[in-house]
Protein backbone atom coordinates (compact mmCIF):
# COMPACT_ATOMS: atom_id res chain seq x y z
CA UNK A 1 0.00 0.00 0.00
CA UNK A 2 2.88 2.27 0.47
CA UNK A 3 3.49 2.29 -3.28
CA UNK A 4 -0.13 3.24 -3.97
CA UNK A 5 -0.02 6.14 -1.47
CA UNK A 6 3.29 7.44 -2.82
CA UNK A 7 2.06 7.56 -6.45
CA UNK A 8 -0.67 10.23 -5.88
CA UNK A 9 1.77 12.30 -3.78
CA UNK A 10 4.33 12.22 -6.63
CA UNK A 11 1.67 13.23 -9.13
CA UNK A 12 0.61 16.14 -6.90
CA UNK A 13 4.17 17.41 -6.61
CA UNK A 14 4.69 16.99 -10.37
CA UNK A 15 1.47 18.91 -11.13
CA UNK A 16 2.49 21.67 -8.67
CA UNK A 17 5.92 21.93 -10.32
CA UNK A 18 4.29 22.04 -13.75
CA UNK A 19 1.88 24.75 -12.59
CA UNK A 20 4.75 26.85 -11.18
CA UNK A 21 6.71 26.45 -14.41
CA UNK A 22 3.69 27.49 -16.53
CA UNK A 23 3.05 30.55 -14.32
CA UNK A 24 6.75 31.45 -14.51
CA UNK A 25 6.77 31.21 -18.32
CA UNK A 26 3.61 33.31 -18.60
CA UNK A 27 5.05 35.99 -16.29
CA UNK A 28 8.29 35.99 -18.25
CA UNK A 29 6.40 36.46 -21.54
CA UNK A 30 4.27 39.28 -20.11
CA UNK A 31 7.30 41.08 -18.68
CA UNK A 32 9.26 40.58 -21.90
CA UNK A 33 6.39 41.89 -23.99
CA UNK A 34 5.99 44.93 -21.75
CA UNK A 35 9.70 45.70 -21.92
CA UNK A 36 9.70 45.32 -25.72
CA UNK A 37 6.69 47.64 -26.06
CA UNK A 38 8.34 50.23 -23.82
CA UNK A 39 11.58 50.12 -25.85
CA UNK A 40 9.74 50.40 -29.15
CA UNK A 41 7.60 53.31 -27.97
CA UNK A 42 10.64 55.21 -26.68
CA UNK A 43 12.40 54.73 -30.04
CA UNK A 44 9.32 55.81 -32.00
CA UNK A 45 9.44 59.36 -30.58
CA UNK A 46 13.11 60.42 -30.63
CA UNK A 47 12.25 63.90 -31.99
CA UNK A 48 10.14 64.68 -28.92
CA UNK A 49 12.99 63.66 -26.61
CA UNK A 50 15.46 65.76 -28.61
CA UNK A 51 13.11 68.73 -28.50
CA UNK A 52 12.75 68.35 -24.75
CA UNK A 53 16.52 68.30 -24.31
CA UNK A 54 17.16 71.38 -26.50
CA UNK A 55 17.01 74.77 -24.77
CA UNK A 56 14.01 76.96 -25.53
CA UNK A 57 14.49 79.66 -28.17
CA UNK A 58 15.47 83.10 -26.92
CA UNK A 59 12.07 84.56 -27.77
CA UNK A 60 10.21 81.98 -25.67
CA UNK A 61 12.61 82.24 -22.75
CA UNK A 62 12.14 86.01 -22.73
CA UNK A 63 8.45 85.47 -22.00
CA UNK A 64 7.79 85.91 -18.32
CA UNK A 65 4.99 83.41 -18.11
CA UNK A 66 1.51 82.75 -19.35
CA UNK A 67 -0.40 85.64 -20.88
CA UNK A 68 -2.91 87.62 -18.87
CA UNK A 69 -6.50 87.77 -20.06
CA UNK A 70 -8.68 90.78 -19.38
CA UNK A 71 -12.39 90.12 -19.98
CA UNK A 72 -14.58 93.12 -20.76
CA UNK A 73 -18.30 93.41 -20.14
CA UNK A 74 -20.54 92.33 -23.01
CA UNK A 75 -21.59 95.15 -25.32
CA UNK A 76 -24.84 95.50 -27.23
CA UNK A 77 -24.55 97.67 -30.34
CA UNK A 78 -26.97 98.71 -33.08
CA UNK A 79 -25.51 97.82 -36.46
CA UNK A 80 -25.39 99.97 -39.60
CA UNK A 81 -27.93 97.85 -41.48
CA UNK A 82 -30.67 99.65 -43.41
CA UNK A 83 -33.62 100.23 -41.12
CA UNK A 84 -31.47 99.97 -38.00
CA UNK A 85 -33.25 96.85 -36.78
CA UNK A 86 -30.21 94.60 -36.37
CA UNK A 87 -27.90 94.61 -33.37
CA UNK A 88 -24.90 92.69 -32.08
CA UNK A 89 -24.03 91.48 -28.61
CA UNK A 90 -20.27 91.06 -28.37
CA UNK A 91 -18.16 89.71 -25.53
CA UNK A 92 -14.49 90.68 -25.76
CA UNK A 93 -11.47 89.36 -23.89
CA UNK A 94 -8.09 91.02 -24.35
CA UNK A 95 -4.87 89.02 -24.23
CA UNK A 96 -2.19 91.24 -22.70
CA UNK A 97 1.46 90.63 -21.88
CA UNK A 98 1.22 90.97 -18.10
CA UNK A 99 -0.85 92.23 -15.16
CA UNK A 100 0.75 95.68 -15.39
CA UNK A 101 -0.64 96.11 -18.90
CA UNK A 102 -4.04 94.88 -17.72
CA UNK A 103 -4.03 97.62 -15.06
CA UNK A 104 -3.12 100.23 -17.69
CA UNK A 105 -5.96 99.08 -19.94
CA UNK A 106 -8.40 99.25 -17.00
CA UNK A 107 -7.47 102.93 -16.47
CA UNK A 108 -8.53 103.77 -20.02
CA UNK A 109 -11.51 101.39 -20.15
CA UNK A 110 -14.27 104.03 -20.60
CA UNK A 111 -12.58 105.56 -23.66
CA UNK A 112 -11.68 102.12 -25.01
CA UNK A 113 -15.30 100.91 -24.69
CA UNK A 114 -16.52 104.06 -26.44
CA UNK A 115 -14.08 103.54 -29.31
CA UNK A 116 -15.10 99.89 -29.64
CA UNK A 117 -18.80 100.82 -29.71
CA UNK A 118 -18.12 103.38 -32.44
CA UNK A 119 -16.18 100.84 -34.52
CA UNK A 120 -18.80 98.08 -34.17
CA UNK A 121 -21.72 100.41 -34.90
CA UNK A 122 -20.23 101.18 -38.35
CA UNK A 123 -20.43 97.53 -39.42
CA UNK A 124 -23.33 95.70 -41.07
CA UNK A 125 -24.64 92.30 -40.04
CA UNK A 126 -23.61 90.75 -43.37
CA UNK A 127 -20.05 91.95 -42.84
CA UNK A 128 -19.88 90.61 -39.27
CA UNK A 129 -21.35 87.22 -40.18
CA UNK A 130 -18.28 86.46 -42.29
CA UNK A 131 -14.94 85.41 -40.83
CA UNK A 132 -13.06 88.16 -42.67
CA UNK A 133 -15.40 90.74 -41.17
CA UNK A 134 -14.76 89.43 -37.65
CA UNK A 135 -10.99 89.41 -38.23
CA UNK A 136 -11.08 93.00 -39.50
CA UNK A 137 -13.20 94.01 -36.51
CA UNK A 138 -10.72 92.30 -34.20
CA UNK A 139 -7.86 94.29 -35.75
CA UNK A 140 -9.85 97.55 -35.47
CA UNK A 141 -10.63 96.82 -31.80
CA UNK A 142 -6.94 96.13 -31.20
CA UNK A 143 -6.19 99.55 -32.67
CA UNK A 144 -8.78 101.19 -30.36
CA UNK A 145 -7.33 99.45 -27.30
CA UNK A 146 -3.75 100.31 -28.25
CA UNK A 147 -4.36 104.01 -28.99
CA UNK A 148 -4.60 105.21 -25.38
CA UNK A 149 -1.53 103.15 -24.45
CA UNK A 150 0.49 104.82 -27.21
CA UNK A 151 1.09 101.78 -29.41
CA UNK A 152 0.28 101.73 -33.13
CA UNK A 153 -1.27 98.70 -34.80
CA UNK A 154 0.32 97.64 -38.06
CA UNK A 155 -2.08 97.20 -40.95
CA UNK A 156 -0.50 95.87 -44.15
CA UNK A 157 -1.22 97.98 -47.23
CA UNK A 158 -2.24 96.15 -50.36
CA UNK A 159 -0.37 97.85 -53.19
CA UNK A 160 1.41 96.39 -56.17
CA UNK A 161 4.29 98.89 -56.09
CA UNK A 162 5.60 100.89 -53.14
CA UNK A 163 8.25 103.56 -52.83
CA UNK A 164 11.30 102.73 -50.77
CA UNK A 165 10.28 105.42 -48.24
CA UNK A 166 6.88 103.79 -47.81
CA UNK A 167 8.54 100.42 -47.27
CA UNK A 168 10.82 101.86 -44.57
CA UNK A 169 7.87 103.51 -42.80
CA UNK A 170 5.98 100.23 -43.00
CA UNK A 171 8.89 98.29 -41.46
CA UNK A 172 9.21 100.85 -38.65
CA UNK A 173 5.46 100.65 -37.95
CA UNK A 174 5.70 96.86 -37.89
CA UNK A 175 8.56 96.96 -35.33
CA UNK A 176 6.60 99.35 -33.06
CA UNK A 177 3.50 97.17 -33.36
CA UNK A 178 5.46 94.06 -32.33
CA UNK A 179 6.25 95.70 -28.97
CA UNK A 180 2.56 96.28 -28.26
CA UNK A 181 1.70 94.63 -24.90
CA UNK A 182 -1.89 94.04 -26.07
CA UNK A 183 -1.38 90.82 -28.00
CA UNK A 184 -4.82 89.80 -29.29
CA UNK A 185 -8.52 90.53 -29.19
CA UNK A 186 -10.58 87.42 -28.51
CA UNK A 187 -14.35 87.15 -28.88
CA UNK A 188 -15.93 85.32 -25.96
CA UNK A 189 -19.42 85.72 -27.44
CA UNK A 190 -20.70 87.07 -30.73
CA UNK A 191 -24.46 87.24 -31.30
CA UNK A 192 -26.15 89.09 -34.15
CA UNK A 193 -29.93 89.54 -34.17
Question: What pLDDT shows up at residue 8?
Answer: 67
pLDDT for 61: 39
pLDDT at site 62? 47
Between CA 78 and CA 85, with CA 84 as vertex, the angle to 5 degrees is 85
* Mean per-residue pLDDT of the chain: 79
| CATH class name, domain 62-192 | alpha beta
Confidence of residue 93 (pLDDT cuts 50, 70, 90): very high
Spell out the domain ranges in the chain: 2-54, 62-192
In 3D, which of 137, 131, 2 has the Cα closest to residue 77? 137
R_g (Cα) of the chain, nearest Å? 34
Percentages of the chain per state (helix, strand, coil), in multiples of 5: 60, 15, 25
The 3-state DSSP class for residue 26 equals helix
Quick check: 123 and 81 in contact, CB under 8 A? no
For residue 183, pLDDT beyond 60: yes
For position 58, what pLDDT does the model report? 43
Tens-place pLDDT, residues 143-178: 999 888 888 776 655 544 455 566 665 555 555 556
**Residue 114 backbone zone (phi > 0: left; psi -120 to 50: alpha; other: beta):** alpha
β-bridge partners, 94: 70, 185
pLDDT value at position 5?
59
What per-residue confidence (pLDDT) applies to 3?
57
Q: Per-residue pLDDT tens for 18-47?
A: 888 999 888 888 888 878 777 777 776 555
Amino acid sequence: MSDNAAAPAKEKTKSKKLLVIIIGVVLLLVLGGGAAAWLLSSRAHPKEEEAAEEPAPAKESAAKGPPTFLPMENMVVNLADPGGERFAQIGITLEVADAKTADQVKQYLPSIRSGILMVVSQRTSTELLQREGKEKLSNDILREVSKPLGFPVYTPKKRASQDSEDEEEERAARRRAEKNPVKRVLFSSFIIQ
